[in-house]
Structure 1
């Protein structure tokens, strides 16, 4: 039987899921950023099946098949790590031995006016910002704007990253794990596992 405290936590998480999407963040240029982080809610939600994941090879069982690796300074590296695992799954290791902004992305088709959940598990080691923005770290992001999960710098054990966004008029996005950001390069290592993009249904917009 679920304890009163755990029932309250689940109920609170559901309330947040209903209330928070009505608000938006603002970004430079005055554009509305319709993305929200839900780390606490994710703790109370079971994983979607693999068939729900719009990313190809989001568990990295087939190496980097389907993923594109880019590095701003061409110094960062990305590889599949079969030793550092989350559960039974291998992880994607992004390493910046020299300060860099490295990202691993995939182009995915989406349907306009729908809500999507972008999520993964992440852990980090020895991250140090060397130039630019001090809030650079490990994150999941959508290329072409400021939509991203929260930034993680210090996570010696696996933690959940998650955001929900509205596709708006878009028919495809380019998204995935990142170590660094525009205007912020760093050294260190981040591991990403179970990278997922799930269609949540119509946004009603």
Structure 2
């Protein structure tokens, strides 16, 4: 093992131990959550209204033929899993949607998933699943009116011809929400879309991901540490992936939520951390510059009173300071803080 590798390993070890000590909360294995969607695979069918092709209606789903001549059907010819999927076909400009009202709890986090396949979809918006929140739904719990709170997030839209693709979105329900309306939707356009395996589960995993530094400036051969901040903090079984787009400029050695960066040569790089499924990601822009004279804070090629003044302006700062990556060049003795000994170092070189 090279001296550089040993140094990186030591840095990672101590960073990992410090992080472990800062999260001394109990870790519980994630339990599978029940799917709240009824008949999300469209396997259950009943004799339905005439607006469904062949009169075969998927149990639990409503149909809205908003405009045009769209056709909705349950098909066994194209499906993702099981033996059936729902098909929406627009031979001419049409607008069609399905719907299912699902009871939920307010102030909670859910994950909506759907598999979508498209053929020749020509639409300004495309196909997706949209959501709406309600306090009450007509026909539920004796209610006679719909009381809408507002619209929720939608899955990413698809157009053109695409093979089966999974689309997911994290949903945070309003405190007063009691129902969410799921609407697989084909916005105004032409073409054919298939929806299958729609699910909604309570989500106890990641709801946010960020890096503690969105930009870092380093000298060549210098190291720095990036820390991924996951929300919520106590997520168990989490796997993070780290990537760098310029391996010539920056080397990344990662372990869990920590990554040690080593500046190799001048240049720029983007370091990305993401969840294993790619749902959440965060980036930091890394700038590597040629190492100059130690203590030359003003970059004029020598140590002057100006450098001493800059160091004095940051007196008392340490690794906990939010701008540490910017000011740490004034820590000339490498004790991870800017103190009296650093100022003396400058003074001795200016006034020998």
TM-score range, shorter chain: 0.5 to 0.7
Which residues of 2 match residues 34-53 of structure 1 at below 5 A?
52-53=34-35
Which residues of 2 match residues 1-205 of structure 1 at below 5 A?
52-63=34-45, 64-73=58-67, 75-129=69-123, 134=124, 136-143=125-132, 144-145=150-151, 147-169=153-175, 170-180=177-187, 185-201=188-204
**Equivalent residues of 2:98, 2:183 under 8 A apart:** yes
Higher relative contact order at CA 8 Å, sep ≥6: structure 1 or structure 2? 1
C-alpha distance in 1 between matches for 2:161 and 2:171: 24
Note the aligned Cα RMSD (angstroms): 2.2
C-alpha distance in 2 between matches for 1:192 and 1:162: 13
User: Helix, strand or coil for the counterpart of 1:197?
Assistant: strand
Q: Tell me which structure has the larger Cα radius of gyration.
A: 2
Counterparts in 2 of 1:173 and 1:100: CA distance versus 1, 3 Å: same
C-alpha distance in 2 between matches for 1:96 and 1:110: 32
C-alpha distance in 1 between matches for 2:152 and 2:161: 23
User: Helix, strand or coil for the counterpart of 1:156?
Assistant: strand
The alpha carbon displacement at 1:87 in A equals 3.2
**Equivalent residues of 1:149, 1:161 under 8 A apart:** yes
TM-score by length of 1: 0.66
**Equivalent residues of 2:71, 2:89 under 8 A apart:** yes
**Equivalent residues of 1:141, 1:177 under 8 A apart:** yes
**Equivalent residues of 1:116, 1:197 under 8 A apart:** yes
The alpha carbon displacement at 1:77 in A equals 2.0
Count of matched residue positions in the alignment of Structure 1 and Structure 2: 147
**Equivalent residues of 2:152, 2:171 under 8 A apart:** no
**Higher strand proportion:** 1
**Equivalent residues of 1:89, 1:193 under 8 A apart:** no
| Structure 2 gap segments, 5+ residues each | 1-30, 46-57, 133-149, 208-231, 233-352
User: Helix, strand or coil for the counterpart of 1:112?
Assistant: coil
| Structure 1 gap segments, 5+ residues each | 1-47
**Over 4 Å off, 4+ runs:** 201-204
TM-score by length of 2: 0.39
User: Helix, strand or coil for the counterpart of 1:158?
Assistant: strand
**Equivalent residues of 2:122, 2:160 under 8 A apart:** no
C-alpha distance in 1 between matches for 2:190 and 2:161: 15
Q: Which residue of 2 aligns with 1:3?
A: none
